[in-house]
């Protein structure tokens, strides 16, 4: 089971102003992301506002993406859900649509024991018959998959690796060293350079929707030892992230892309529009960096 590429945009979900999923907005967003050089797209995850959508809406997004981007790049479907049946349904959909891999957060809200979590991932692997990437983001799911638990899950050969969205670079490096035959993708955008220097199989991030080329550049610079250039690129990304932390990351990214005539629409409530002062800062960053005329 192989997954091609290393830099994947954690894709936003386009919505109409009415609040409904906009499948027609997928193509322009995908085309922009691919124009920045990303190797693939990770759909229906945190950045995609998946927990605010129905099962049918999530399947609608996966379908629209497969129809437009199938064969153009690597496609990874995030299918994680609170219930195993929902995750299995989406995993089956991803299989039928020709996705290259699936990914899933652990089942959330309830404090499940490790056996429950193991059976959940086994069910996803059974349904998808695709490589499975564990999505470990404890700050949001409330489930902290320790190194021991992650390595235990990865004993299943169908578990291809992990999307690691946390700030512990030591744990990340130790995991990668302990399981060299698995893929470890870093998901904390503001620290990607650190992960690249420690050794990563790539990155999956939200800001890649807008500046995917920056992360392509960081990865390439580290590989050839151009650390000062890599630092300058990470600094560019982090200057954007500082602003996005004020607007809200997802609302800010959508605002930026809409201003660039890429129609991703609004976020879904309870997200709200960022305040005017933070949007002025974002406009300034976009203008100074050549994203707005």
Whether residue 221 contacts residue 230, with contact meaning beta carbons closer than 8 Å, is answered with: yes
Arithmetic mean of pLDDT over the chain = 97
Q: Identify the pLDDT of residue 141.
A: 86
Active-site amino acid positions: 135, 163
Q: Identify the pLDDT of residue 154.
A: 97
Q: Identify the pLDDT of residue 293.
A: 75
Q: Identify the pLDDT of residue 252.
A: 98
As a whole number of angstroms, the distance between CA 42 and CA 170 comes to 25
As a whole number of angstroms, the distance between CA 43 and CA 86 comes to 16
User: Would you tell me which CATH number, out of the four given (3.30.60.50, 3.90.1150.10, 3.20.20.70, 3.10.180.10), belongs to the domain 7-225?
Assistant: 3.20.20.70
- The residue extents of the domains of the chain are 7-225
| pLDDT tens-digit series, residues 218-254 | 999 999 999 999 999 999 999 999 999 999 999 999 9
Low-confidence ranges of the chain (pLDDT < 50): none
| pLDDT tens-digit series, residues 77-110 | 999 999 999 999 999 999 999 999 999 999 999 9
Q: Identify the pLDDT of residue 1.
A: 59
| pLDDT tens-digit series, residues 28-37 | 999 999 999 9
Which residues are registered as beta bridge partners of 10? 42
Q: Identify the pLDDT of residue 139.
A: 83
């Amino acid at each position: 089971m192989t997954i091609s590429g290393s830099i994947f945009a954690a894709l936003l979900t386009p919505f109409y102003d009415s609040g409904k999923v906009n499948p027609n907005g997928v193509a322009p967003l995908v085309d922009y992301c691919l124009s920045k050089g990303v190797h693939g797209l990770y759909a229906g995850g945190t950045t995609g506002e998946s927990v605010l959508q129905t099962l049918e809406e999530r399947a609608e997004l996966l379908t629209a993406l497969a129809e437009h981007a199938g064969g153009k790049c690597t496609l990874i479907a995030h299918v994680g859900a609170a219930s195993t049946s929902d995750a299995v349904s989406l995993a089956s959909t991803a299989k039928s649509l020709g996705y290259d891999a699936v990914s899933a957060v652990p089942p959330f809200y309830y404090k499940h024991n490790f056996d429950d979590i193991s059976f959940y991932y086994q069910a996803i692997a059974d349904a998808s018959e695709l490589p499975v990437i564990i999505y470990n983001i404890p700050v949001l799911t409330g489930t902290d998959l320790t190194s021991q638990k992650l390595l235990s899950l990865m004993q299943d050969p169908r578990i291809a690796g992990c999307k690691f969205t946390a700030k512990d670079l030591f744990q990340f490096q130790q995991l990668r060293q302990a399981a060299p035959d698995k893929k470890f993708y870093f998901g904390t955008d503001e620290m990607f350079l650190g992960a690249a220097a420690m050794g990563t199989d790539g990155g999956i991030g939200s800001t890649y929707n807008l500046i995917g080329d920056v992360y392509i550049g960081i990865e390439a610079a580290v590989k050839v030892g151009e650390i000062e250039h890599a630092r300058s690129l990470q600094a560019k990304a982090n200057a954007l992230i500082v602003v996005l932390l004020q607007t809200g990351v997802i609302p800010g990214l959508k605002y930026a892309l809409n201003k660039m005539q890429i129609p991703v629409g609004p976020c879904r409530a309870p997200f709200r529009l960022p305040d005017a002062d933070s949007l002025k800062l974002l406009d300034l960053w976009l203008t100074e960096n050549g994203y707005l005329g």
